[in-house]
Amino acid sequence: MSEPVYRYLGARGALRRAMVGGVLAAAVLALVPAVVSPFQLLFAAEMLIQCLFALAFNLLFGITGLLSFGQAAYFGVGGYLAALALVHGWTGILGVLLLSTVGAALAGLVLGYCCVRLNEIYFAMLTLAFGQMHYAGARQWADVTGGSDGILRVPRPPLRLLGLTLPLDTGLAFYVLVATVVLLTTLFLWGVATSPFGLMLRAIREKPERAEFVGIPVHHYRLAAFVLSAACAGLAGALVVLLGHTATPEMLFWTKSAEPVIMSLLGGAKVFLGPALGVLVYAWLKEWLSSRLVDYWMLVMGLIVIGCGLFFRGGICGALAVWWSARLAQRMSYVSTRDPQPDQIVRPDDSR
């Protein structure tokens, strides 16, 4: 699969793109409450949070080239921190979100420091070990985490901002909060991915040895990406706890870590919004299949996932990009008659 060429757009170009994309996305997100029922709105909020989690994961995977198999650890740390803070009487919702983000970032800093020196499969295994360690901790440190039941009945206090108090009990109000947070974080991640820093991460993904050789401190950059990814995952975890009013150990189990991996691969890990597309397509497919084939939707889903692994290596976005560039090339071949076609080029070797 060919990745679209990422240019460093310059501060102004990047800002313009971010603003255009942000306004478009905000318009789409604002239309959602108008077309769906209140119950579906909560479902939409959950999808958005999943998108954020997948995008955070993909900063490590698609952009930096590190397959983390333990992102659920940071998702869960964020979730549990939020739940604990709210249960123990915190009322500032923005403070709680900040606490979760910072807490997950700190966990990412400490654990990432150990992980980033390893490559490929060893990196994946170490992140898996750390993730399971968190899971075991949440399961067994029952005095604090509530054991295998988790923390239940987490309150959702109203949002206090600029002297206003906005209750969040309705689906619509909560959806607006989630959509705003997810949109802003996604724009931030997009800024990271297209900044010079993001280009460095891509260089590291393509060939760590070469990046090291030209003087990029590979481990530092990887650690920075790890911390950012963990922070955003923690934020997503906090939002999930606010949504469901519970924090359970399943948030930290390895199957939770597998989700963003599958979604990113399904949507296309090398395109920035690919993982989000993967989340939406997976959710839609699951819904559509399970309404039709009640008992054996997993069978069909398994076949689709296998098909993706075998034939559509770039995911949906990759397949679209291939199709689009083929179409483009075809059209170009009609238009440009002045440029020599590859088979018309006479190479020096051929004349001998």
Partner 1 sequence: MMPADSLAAYVLNGLVQASCLFLVASGLTLIFGVLGILNFAHAALFMLAAYLAAQVSAWSGSFWVALLVAPPVLALVGAGLEWGLLRRVYDAPVAYQLLLTFGVILLIKDLIKLLWGTAWKTFSEPPVFSGTLVVLGRPYPLYNVAYIGCVLLIGLALWAFLHLTRTGKVVRAAAADRDMANAVGINVPLVYTGVCALGTALAAIMGVFHGPMMNIHLDVDQDYVVEAFAVVVIGGLGSVPGALLGALLVGMLDAFGILIIPRFQMAFIYMVMAAVLVFRPQGLFGMRETRV
Sites of contact with partner 1 (CB under 8 A): 61, 67, 114, 118, 120-122, 124-126, 128-130, 132-133, 136-137, 139-141, 253-255, 258, 261-262, 265-266, 269, 295-299, 301-306, 308-310, 313
User: Minimum distance between the CB of residue 348 and partner 1, rounded to whole angstroms?
Assistant: 33
Closest to 157 in 3D by CA, of 174, 140, 141: 174
Task: Closer to partner 1 by CB, 185 or 229: give it.
Answer: 229
CA distances from 159 to 32, 91, 95, 109, 205 (A): 22, 9, 10, 29, 40
User: Minimum distance between the CB of residue 293 and partner 1, rounded to whole angstroms?
Assistant: 10
User: Minimum distance between the CB of residue 18 and partner 1, rounded to whole angstroms?
Assistant: 28
Closest to 182 in 3D by CA, of 112, 238, 223, 222: 238
Alpha helices, H only, the chain: 10-35, 38-58, 72-87, 93-115, 120-140, 142-145, 171-194, 196-206, 208-213, 218-244, 254-267, 274-292, 297-310, 315-335, 348-351
Task: Closer to partner 1 by CB, 15 or 299: give it.
Answer: 299
Q: What secondary structure does DSSP assign to 122-137, as a single string?
A: HHHHHHHHHHHHHHHH
Task: Closer to partner 1 by CB, 43 or 254: give it.
Answer: 254
Task: Closer to partner 1 by CB, 16 or 286: give it.
Answer: 286
Return the ∠ at Cα 110 (arms to 223 and 114), rounded to 5°: 65
CA 292 from centroid of its chain's CA atoms: 29
Task: Closer to partner 1 by CB, 216 or 301: give it.
Answer: 301
User: Minimum distance between the CB of residue 302 and partner 1, rounded to whole angstroms?
Assistant: 3
Interatomic CA distance for residues 222 and 229, integer angstroms: 10
User: Minimum distance between the CB of residue 139 and partner 1, rounded to whole angstroms?
Assistant: 6
Task: Closer to partner 1 by CB, 98 or 303: give it.
Answer: 303
Return the ∠ at Cα 231 (arms to 110 and 23), rounded to 5°: 160
User: Minimum distance between the CB of residue 271 and partner 1, rounded to whole angstroms?
Assistant: 15
